[in-house]
Chains A and B, each alone.
Chain A
């Protein structure tokens, strides 16, 4: 996982810790997209918001929702984005910006990687599935279906959708008797 501190980028652009203008966000976005481009395939970029005090809807849209929409559209290949925000108030406008673009994102709190929540637009069913995947670690779709009491096809659909949203990584692994199984793994 690659990690960048948003406050460092803001300082580089002389913006301080209270940000809100879309025009300023466009300058910051260029740095974030450069970091995404520099990442290896299947890697995860963690953007740490520590030190940021105010974030407007327009700024959040520019620096997070727009780059995430390009990731989800696979413009950067298979790469992932998560954020670390401890201050709940910062999430208010970010949540709105993500919902407006029908996107969802994992939000980490504190230094732990396992304490995440989902920001943005994601159905309750997908949130529940994502939580189980996060709790279980790499899990085959069949096992996930069993664990959640779902039919295999229904479970597989959920895994595919979470993969499309770039909230999990999917991989093919060889199971018993050479049968290819699909594994789902939370990205954080």
Chain B
């Protein structure tokens, strides 16, 4: 199996329904940042609900090494148990790489530092145009600042802080930003213009990516809309997941809705095609 956004959704379904307490990654042969972000958010969520979770670590040593380098074990530490010791994986070392920007937990005042870290990672590649680097910076600025502003509008949720990760492959770039906050629907319906009885999760996501916001000021709320435009302009697509739905938006603006298990927060997964290997 491959750990990506859709397989991670299966883990969300199995564990949040109350039956499973195990996430089996034994046969995992490949992991994407979208799956890693979701996995860590799921572990955080279950811990908050008092659940105990066990993760069966991948048998494939390459995947084990990748998860270690991606900070997955570090982020999962204390949130779950593992079926075997993971300390030895640290001997894989963390060789400097500019292909992966490992899972970064968002902490107060750290947004600019994270954007600059991701940006530096991309600038090291000659096959990534400045247009893509600039667009990714804009996307990160908007999506990361949405977390304290929209995921935790009252400043009351201690664990709202998000996660971000980036991976560059030869032909594509994957970026994922997620949080465990109130989600798009609850944020949006704080504005009386968007009553909860008329805005389910799908409509709330649609409204948010079209420029709607919890703020009464008509000028606010363009951030997510600008993210969609910036990603599409560089030929990329994105998946915006919040509540019980995800909207998948292609580069040509074709959109479809994917029903999901109800889950807190918002996750935005972005894929951008690259011109080729260097």
Contact = CB atoms under 8 A, between A and B. Distances in A.
Interface stretch (A37-45, A91-99, A168-176): A91-99
SS of A interface (majority): helix
A61 interface: yes
Which of A55, A57, A96 is most buried by chain B, counting CB atoms within 10 A of its CB?
A57
Given A20-B115, A89-B131, A96 B145 contact: no
B231 to A, nearest CB: 12
A66 interface: yes
Interface string A42-73: 00000000000111111101000110010000
A96 B225 contact: yes
Nearest to A69: B219
A18 interface: yes
Contacts of B111: 21
A93 B226 contact: yes
Contacts of B229: 92, 96
Contacts of B116: 18
Contacts of B115: 18, 20
Given A21-B112, A89-B134, A96-B225, A56 B142 contact: yes
Interface string B127-154: 0000100100110111001000100000
A109 interface: no
B221 interface: yes
B211 interface: yes
A151 interface: no
B223 interface: yes
A57 B211 CA distance: 11
Contacts of B142: 20, 56-58
A175 to B, nearest CB: 41
Interface residues of B, number: 26
A66 to B, nearest CB: 7
B225 A20 contact: no
Given A54-B134, A93-B226, A100-B211, A21 B141 contact: yes
B108 to A, nearest CB: 11
A22 interface: yes
Given A58-B142, A59-B141, A96-B229, A53 B134 contact: yes
A56 B219 contact: no
Contact of B219 (A21, A23, A65, A92): A65
A101 interface: yes
Interface string A87-119: 001001100110011000000000000000000
Contacts of B221: 100
Given A20-B141, A89-B131, A89-B134, A96 B222 contact: yes
Given A21-B112, A92-B229, A97 B141 contact: no
Contacts of B112: 21, 24
A58 B211 contact: no
A54 B116 CA distance: 12
Nearest to B227: A57
A149 to B, nearest CB: 36
19 contacts: A18-B137, A20-B115, A20-B142, A20-B145, A21-B112, A24-B112, A54-B138, A54-B141, A57-B138, A57-B225, A59-B141, A61-B219, A69-B219, A89-B131, A92-B233, A93-B226, A97-B219, A97-B222, A101-B219
